[in-house]
Amino acid sequence: MKYRLLYVSKALHPWETLDPVLMDILSEAIAFNSKNNITGVLYYGQGFFVQCLEGDKQSVENLFYQKILKDPRHHHCEILYAADIETSLFHQWSMKFAPVNKNIRDFFENYHLDEFNPYLLTENTTLPFIHVLAKEPHYEVNPAKFS
């Protein structure tokens, strides 16, 4: 049995999508997750992070509580979803990256959430939002190019 955790947080300093700090975060996530059999997606937009992690429950929770919560590049970290799962949605990515786009904005408009603010997700909208993230194409970036 696998485990899924989705959290949201606010960037300490809002960055552009291809900012070197954001690319560092992505590079670190890819390296750590691939070593620890964790998969997922990182979405960044308008100064907000949304990250969905999947893997062994202990590995995912250790990552969240020991590493993510202590990262000084963001704050107001809040878990919106955590559950055992039978099917992984992000199994092919150690960390899929999805930037701001129309599909995400449309999702928020369709659920009468006027703007992209993941803290507005509710018990009824969080799981559908995870499925929207799963359908997003992976945005190819070369983090080394920004070092």
Contacts of 93 (CB under 8 A, 6+ apart): 39, 40, 41, 138
Residue 119, domain extent: 2-142
Tokens (6 digits) for 61: 């929770």
The answer to whether residue 145 scores a pLDDT higher than 50 is no
The answer to whether residue 147 scores a pLDDT higher than 60 is no
**86 occurs within a structural domain:** yes
Query: In the structure, what pLDDT confidence band is assigned to residue 13 with cuts at 50, 70 and 90?
Result: confident
**122 occurs within a structural domain:** yes
**108 occurs within a structural domain:** yes
Work out how many domains the chain is built from and give that number.
1
Q: Model confidence over 40-87: pLDDT tens digits?
A: 998 888 889 999 999 999 999 999 999 999 999 999 999 999 999 999
The CATH number of the domain where 32 resides is what?
3.30.70.100
Please state, in angstroms and rounded to a whole number, the distance separating the CA atoms of residues 64 and 105: 26
Helix boundaries (H) for 10-125: 20-35, 57-62, 102-110
The answer to whether residue 143 scores a pLDDT higher than 50 is no
What does 85-96 look like in DSSP terms, one character per residue? ESS-SSTT-SSE
Can you tell me the mean pLDDT for 101-115?
Answer: 84
Q: Give this prediction's pTM.
A: 0.87
Measured at the CA of 142, the angle between CA 64 and CA 61, to 5 degrees, comes to 10
Q: Model confidence over 26-37: pLDDT tens digits?
A: 888 888 999 999
Query: In the structure, what pLDDT confidence band is assigned to residue 131 with cuts at 50, 70 and 90?
Result: very high
**147 occurs within a structural domain:** no
Asked if 31 contacts 144 with a C-beta cutoff of 8 angstroms, the reply is no
**26 occurs within a structural domain:** yes
Please state, in angstroms and rounded to a whole number, the distance separating the CA atoms of residues 61 and 100: 27
Query: In the structure, what pLDDT confidence band is assigned to residue 139 with cuts at 50, 70 and 90?
Result: low
